[in-house]
């Protein structure tokens, strides 16, 4: 299994930078794969058990003209300080560039009113030279590294465009030619690009704000019990088993189990649910949640990267760094975008010069083509939305593992839902015993006491004095068998009993099953001894959740190991018309495969170990956070609230996400399809083109940020 090393990248300013950096990282020995996120300013390196030398990774990034450092070992404060430092440097550069550009642009406006020469040409030359090679030097550096790796980027386009305008004007000035100069174009374009990148940096920071918000939830210290005294210590010094204190109004420092006290805790940062949860002895606490007015003492059960909050942060980071299939088209176009634009600019130049004979006009129109083109808007159309959506989902209790799952969720046509623990509470109670005698209850309770099945627990509690069981065996999805007082007994599903040749009295079992109860039979080797009926209540809002899923145009089916009569009763209560009954755990994945063979996208919703294969087999797997670790690991989307309505919310979020992505891609395509021809036909001034190019990326990021207004449905 591949492991990952995370790098923070500084200095990226274009999606084309991603290909340059990832290409360099892939050449480092020991690296299996590398992906780079321009929006997230990060790189993920996949490798085998032996990680590559971190310094070689950093050097590989530096060889492409950027800076890098390992995320592991760097605190969030250090990362944030680096971002703020980079922002301040960019801000100062913008202000100085603007101050030097202002006089040149002012002279351009004065020329319109016949006031030539107010700002002497030699002053314009000096100011433009400082801007071009001072604040514009970064474009030459970026162009050098792009050409060095045989790629193209925005730096190359800006460098070519501004250099053409500057050097043409410099030649006119130096040789005293009777031609118009375009110092204002080269200086203004550089200044506008710097402004665009500064604003882009700030909006990108807002897009990735979900991670920072989650990180801020974790307190820095906690009060733990040491030698009968409460001592405040840093979080990273606490180990599993330490006793810690939570005072009224405190943020809970880390995951734990309450051992004393009572309070109500706000867990909305985990579940998106605003209702406070009552906490008392033996209930679980989660780091980052907020305590009410009660006082609690708890034993630490998870620390560091093993806490629920750390798991959420890790999932969000992985989702934000993942790539949706819809992005492939934009990536392919971005890969050839710069060479095509340069070709169009050259064609524009020679066409204008050849047909009009005006060298100056041809040059300016070619510069406008170079400047108006924007692969950034195209490249950022998808990842910015994925970043915002994954963060918004996390704040609502919807944890999405990757962008591909999010895209597939939008196209779902069938959702299969496991009954026990998903549609129902998963805590069945014993309702009927036939015949209700101590002898029958003693035998059944003794056998079921050794079983881990949810239905076994209430039967095991039916009789306190258990008999000694030997030769015990559990048959998954069927029942258990054991020897008591030298005689062999069986207890399990009615179908299993019938398979053994045991004759079931359906006059007793059918009415119970029609009421939605699960009936098991106790028998010896030849005949039934008794029947036990267990009822599991439907979850609150389960029926409403099913209706919401149906409203999205998705078919809902239920999977259960119960008899068909019991399954029919539960399905009727939940508003489900299609179900598969008497399915063994190992057959759930096969059922999912059969549904997929209909040519439809199929999701699975479950929470148990026996749901893991089906979750993995489905196009999208939804697991409830109260489920087992293996179920969560096998799923694509984890729901922090045990509520079927949350499934509908996750699908609605995916639909909203890809509406935004399509809007962004449409805008980016239209912008370039319209803008480049306008520039080629001489209808755009290079300065206006530069401003429009800077604005295009901001429009894409701004539209993505609107997804922050998405909210889960309220019942």
The Cα 73–Cα 393 span in angstroms is 27
CB neighbourhood size of 114 (10 A): 6
The Cα 581–Cα 703 span in angstroms is 46
Instruction: Answer whether 614's CB lies under 8 Å from 589's CB.
Output: yes
* Helix ranges (DSSP H) in 238-298: 268-271
Query: What are the respective helix, strand and coil percentages of the chain, to the nearest 5?
Result: 55, 20, 30
Query: Is 220 buried (19+), middle (13-18) or exposed (0-12) by CB count in 10 A?
Result: exposed
Report how far apart, in Å, the C-alpha atoms of 426 and of each of 429, 454, 589 are: 10, 7, 21
* DSSP code for 502: P
Structure tokens at 468: 């000694």
The Cα 616–Cα 138 span in angstroms is 47
Structure tokens at 121: 């040409």
Q: How many CA atoms within 13 Å lie on the side-chain side of 46?
A: 10
Instruction: Answer whether 13's CB lies under 8 Å from 93's CB.
Output: no
Instruction: Answer whether 200's CB lies under 8 Å from 219's CB.
Output: no
The Cα 398–Cα 76 span in angstroms is 24
Residue 418 known to be catalytic: yes
The Cα 654–Cα 209 span in angstroms is 19
Structure tokens at 577: 């018309």
Residue 258 β-bridge partners: 298
Instruction: Answer whether 369's CB lies under 8 Å from 286's CB.
Output: no
Q: How many CA atoms within 13 Å lie on the side-chain side of 251?
A: 15
Backbone angles phi, psi at 254, to 5 degrees: -165, 170
- 602-606, strands of its sheet edge to edge: 398-400, 637-639, 620-624, 602-606, 414-418, 555-559, 578-580
DSSP 3-state of 235: helix
Structure tokens at 25: 């990282």
Residue 67 β-bridge partners: 10
* DSSP code for 39: T
Give DSSP secondary structure letters for 530-579. Answer: EEEEEE-PBPTTHHHHHHHHHHTT-EEEEE-SS-HHHHHHHHHHHT--EE
Strand pairing category for 263-266 and 31-37:
unpaired
Instruction: Answer whether 158's CB lies under 8 Å from 189's CB.
Output: yes
* DSSP code for 424: B
- 528-535, strands of its sheet edge to edge: 429-434, 528-535, 518-523, 487-493, 479-484, 469-475
Structure tokens at 630: 């293996």
Catalytic member of 255, 266, 418, 587: 418
The Cα 45–Cα 278 span in angstroms is 43
Q: Which residues of 33-71 are buried (b: 16+ CB within 10 A; e: fewer)?
A: ebbbbbbbbbbbbebeeeebebeebbebbeebbbebbeb
The Cα 241–Cα 243 span in angstroms is 6
Q: Which residue has the tokens 């050794």?
A: 450
Active site residues: 418
């Amino acid at each position: 299994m591949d492991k990952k090393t995370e790098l923070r990248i500084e200095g990226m300013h274009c999606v084309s930078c991603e290909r340059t950096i990832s290409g360099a990282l892939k050449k480092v020995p020991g690296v299996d794969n590398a992906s780079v996120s321009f929006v997230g300013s990060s790189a993920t390196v996949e490798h085998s058990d032996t990680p590559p030398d971190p310094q070689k990774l950093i050097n590989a990034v530096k060889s492409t003209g950027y800076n890098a450092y390992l995320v592991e070992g760097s605190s969030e404060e250090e990362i944030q300080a680096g971002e703020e430092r980079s922002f301040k440097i960019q801000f100062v550069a913008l202000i100085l560039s603007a101050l030097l550009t202002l006089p040149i642009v002012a002279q351009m406006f004065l020329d319109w009113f016949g006031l030539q020469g107010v700002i002497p040409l030699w002053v314009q030359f000096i100011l433009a030279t400082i801007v071009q090679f001072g604040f514009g030097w970064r474009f030459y550096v970026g162009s050098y590294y792009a050409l060095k790796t045989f790629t193209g980027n925005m730096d190359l386009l800006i460098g070519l465009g501004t250099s053409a305008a500057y050097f043409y004007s410099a030649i006119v000035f130096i040789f005293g030619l009777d031609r118009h100069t375009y110092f204002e174009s080269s200086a203004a374009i550089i200044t506008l690009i710097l402004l665009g990148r500064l604003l882009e940096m700030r909006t990108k920071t807002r897009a990735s704000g979900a991670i920072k918000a989650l990180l801020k939830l974790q307190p820095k210290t906690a009060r733990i019990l040491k030698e009968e005294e409460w001592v405040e210590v840093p979080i990273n010094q606490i180990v599993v088993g330490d006793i810690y204190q939570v005072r009224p109004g405190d943020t809970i420092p880390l995951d734990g189990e309450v051992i004393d006290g009572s309070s109500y805790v706000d867990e909305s940062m985990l579940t998106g649910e605003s209702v406070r949860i009552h906490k008392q002895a033996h209930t679980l606490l989660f780091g980052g949640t907020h305590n009410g007015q009660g006082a609690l003492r708890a034993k630490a059960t998870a620390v560091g990267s093993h806490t629920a909050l750390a798991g959420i942060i890790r999932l969000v980071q992985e989702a934000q760094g993942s790539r949706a299939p819809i992005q492939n088209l934009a990536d392919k176009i971005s890969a050839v975008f710069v060479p095509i634009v340069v070709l169009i600019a050259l064609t524009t130049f020679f066409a204008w010069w050849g047909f009009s004979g005006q060298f100056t006009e041809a040059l300016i129109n070619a510069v406008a083509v170079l400047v108006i083109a924007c692969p950034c808007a195209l490249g950022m159309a998808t990842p910015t939305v994925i970043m915002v959506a994954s963060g918004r989902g996390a704040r609502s209790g919807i944890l999405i593992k990757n962008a591909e799952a999010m895209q597939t969720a939008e196209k779902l046509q069938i959702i299969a839902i496991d009954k026990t623990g998903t549609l129902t509470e998963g805590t069945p109670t014993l309702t009927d015993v036939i015949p209700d005698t101590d002898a029958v209850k003693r035998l059944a309770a003794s056998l079921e006491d050794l079983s881990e099945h949810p239905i076994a627990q209430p039967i095991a509690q039916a009789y306190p004095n258990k008999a000694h069981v030997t030769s015990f065996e559990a048959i998954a999805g069927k029942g258990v068998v054991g020897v008591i007082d030298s005689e062999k007994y069986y207890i399990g599903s009615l179908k299993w009993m019938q398979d053994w040749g045991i004759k079931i009295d359906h006059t007793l079992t059918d009415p119970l099953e029609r009421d939605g109860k699960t009936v098991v039979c106790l028998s010896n080797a030849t005949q039934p001894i008794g029947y036990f009926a267990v009822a599991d209540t439907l979850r609150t809002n389960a029926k409403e959740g099913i209706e919401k899923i149906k409203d999205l145009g998705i078919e809902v089916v239920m999977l259960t190991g119960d008899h068909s009569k019991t399954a029919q009763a539960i399905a009727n209560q939940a508003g489900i018309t299609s179900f598969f009954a008497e399915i063994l755990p190992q057959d759930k994945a096969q059922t999912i495969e059969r549904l997929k063979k209909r040519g439809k996208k199929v999701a699975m919703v479950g929470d148990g170990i026996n749901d893991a294969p089906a979750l993995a087999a489905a196009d999208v797997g939804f697991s409830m956070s109260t489920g087992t670790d293996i179920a969560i690991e096998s799923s694509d989307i984890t729901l922090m609230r045990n509520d079927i309505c949350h499934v509908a919310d996750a699908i609605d979020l995916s639909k909203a996400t890809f509406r935004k992505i399509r809007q962004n891609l449409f805008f980016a395509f239209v912008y370039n399809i319209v803008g480049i021809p306008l520039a080629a036909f001489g209808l755009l001034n290079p300065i206006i083109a530069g401003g429009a190019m800077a604005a295009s990326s901001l429009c894409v990021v701004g539209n993505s940020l609107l997804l922050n207004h998405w909210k889960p449905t309220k019942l």
